[in-house]
Amino acid sequence: MKEIFQVVRAVLEEVPDSITVVAAGKQRSPAELDAVISAGIHQIGQNYVQEAEELRPAVRGESTWRMIGHLQRNKVRKAVDLFDWIDSVDSLRLARRINKVCREVGRVMPVLLEINSGREEKKTGFFPEQLEEALPDLAGLDHLQIQGLMTMGPRFGDPEDSRPFFIETRKLFSAIAASPPEGVAMSILSMGMSNSYRIAIEEGATMIRLGTALFGLRKD
């Protein structure tokens, strides 16, 4: 795990202090996650509720756990118990389900709204124009704290291919931030993964999600 520690330290030296780095821990071991925590990354992202349920008790380091993958509505109750943040609220229907469960258990969940900036029918997330329409209803959900936006962009290929996705999301972020509904804060713009985080930072990201860049390729 010494190698992971050294890689993380190098990434943190490269990335501006104003950028929050999330370690995307999909299919990683507790020892790998503890290595990134000990190196200075205290935000852990997970794609699957079941995997987080198994991993979180085994990770010793102090950290904040964020749901960054698609969340099925039938997994919301477990997600509310497991995660400190849900960064992938991709529909009004899901938001309402999270709000209902949070009301029942007596907590308020900080969330990010996922933007499908490429308007791709096979991907989850609000199209930009859909979010503008849904935002008043989202703002009225009293057990959610809307803290910003998240987008994916292409996972592979030329990093420059991600730039239009990030520009589109940043424009939406800025427009909402200029006149946010009551109960909505635009404090986090989560964009960019291992292949594209440098482009995302250039385009205004305040948070990046790194997996391969920290851990190396998964053995799957």
Q: Are 98 and 114 in contact (CB under 8 A)?
A: no
Instruction: Tell me how many domains the chain contains.
Output: 1
Question: In sequence order, what E strands does the chain have?
Answer: 20-24, 43-46, 64-67, 85-89, 109-115, 144-151, 184-190, 207-210
Structure tokens at 111: 């969330």
Question: How confident is the model at residue 148, as a pLDDT?
Answer: 98
160 is a domain residue? yes
- Beta-carbon neighbour count of residue 58 at 10 Å? 11
144 is a domain residue? yes
**Residue 192's domain spans which residues?**
2-215
pTM score over 0.75: yes
Q: What is the CATH number of the domain that holds 63?
A: 3.20.20.10
In order along its 220 residues, the chain shows pLDDT tens digits of 789 999 999 999 999 999 999 999 999 999 999 999 999 999 999 999 999 999 999 999 999 999 999 999 999 999 999 999 999 999 999 999 999 999 999 999 999 999 999 888 888 999 999 998 999 999 999 999 999 999 987 666 788 999 999 999 999 999 999 999 998 999 999 999 999 999 999 999 999 999 999 998 765 5
220 is a domain residue? no
Give the SS3 label for residue 93.
helix
